[in-house]
Chains A and B, each alone.
Chain A
């Protein structure tokens, strides 16, 4: 304890020579001087004394006839005095303290657990709207209120917590488990045709069929009725169920011009880097990329102990492109239209069995017009609720 106080207040090691050092010691004890650690070194002694007490030793030294000489100075006051005129060092320490205080009070890492992908982005966007982003002050938010707002804004969240820990904001999220879909078997409904077609087969599990195989139906026609009438005259309303396969026809037209302009890569790429530092982005380049290009961005943060720090490098890759005019022959235009048709089939008719595709081609001076007639086999039964008025 004495050492610590000595370090803070400053301590001098003093050599006492000549005269009677025993008398000097006794006088110091009588005057209650703050001295300790007397050590004899031949004819002299050394003693440690509080820096502020040194002036008060003169009277005792004079009376004992001894001479005092400071041989060592310890403690913070002397250390500070040594750097008194070094303004740069003082300014550096001051700036360091200010920066430390500034950066410690802000959020630099948002660590999310329990969620990923689209919902994570949604939560981050919502947090941004509430004002929580990298670099915001931790004390500026009431996290309990923000948490409530986020839960209300994102219905997928069942529970979440926002725990600031230093400069890291830990976001723990628990997602809501959707209740299983309860099929209502009690709700009476009819089966109606969802598209025009000719019925190929019927597999009815419940309800009264209104059509038969081979019939042609248009969109909205009643296929299976949920109102089942018994021989005794009573009518029971049920949920009509079944699968009705019909041959349907879809028509789609694509217009393919002979002269097309594409953007093609020149093979040249340019890279631009930016230094990302605590939310600030400092460009490490001069000038901009001219012409047409496709840009891809990549961010490489500085990672220490699996923690991504808010310091890193942004890399933007510009793949330069140039417009290229392509002249297609009629055959090539038709092939492109066929390709587009197949794309349409896979995207728009996923549950259909394609039986045939017939193409009708028309050619003008500027483009080819290809009309595809797609014949498919599909279930056209669509459940529609019955409105029952009592």
Chain B
């Protein structure tokens, strides 16, 4: 691909062997997420996995591999707060899908052992600027539990596990199988109640419901995939009654409960591409859901919550589209960047998402505004290493449309 080749030539002013553990990015307009505006002409120094400094006009020690990002924008690596990347290859072919299991596992079903960094979906998402994401299990037969989600890190190679068990996912809402949501809430409350009794009695919570012990201790957030206003209110009540941490995933009608969600410190993962009442649970879905929530002080993030066919396949690009559409509907730009970086990490118990001294070096150099779909990522750095932007699509394009020599 000619674009990539030219980029490598123009950006890399001083290339040293890959063994070099230090890297500098200079002249970068940089959203550090530590200030309200981007730092102009910043020098970002990276040593190994870690950012050493971000200083406007900062000097680069001699011999350090340097990327000149003049005229480019730098952001932290983007985080997808709900996807199934690494768990699914061809969604219509069940033998390539590890998102759920029809066996007895419910709350303890842990997707982290199925993660596949060699998936064709991973390299494309990374090339689109996504560096981390929550990969979550699909609904199990142990209603309402889906199981334990993992944080993935889209580094090169097969191992993309960042941290296992970052949230316990439950799915609550209307189904086509004559299962009332009343029973779904009741089962969840009963399970949490039983777990609380065991914890109070000094006994551990064992078996399939073992993760609930960690949920009750506030160590593990409960990620509640739900949409209808009545269910969002039930979720708030559950958080109050059990003192757990929670994230609403979906929250189509969450805007109706914005101030209550803010008071309960519940983050909402929204999908601002979805603006149609696809189900009766989502009648009130609106494109400015994110804007209304953020205005009320609710932390938000973006992810696959509409269950749309194509989303996992473009987990990086769709994330940016979500954020861009939310900004178009009134979400402040900086709030959108927070929703793509610090918010989803923080809600799942991981510090990061900022470009500052001491932070892990996950960042992206863009040829324009990352929320515009006509923008490309020029370089993606994960844990201090510049990743290849090559992916199946780029290889196909290389084969069928070889670059014209210039």
Q: Do A and B come from one complex?
A: no
Which residues does A use to contact B, with CB under 8 Å? none
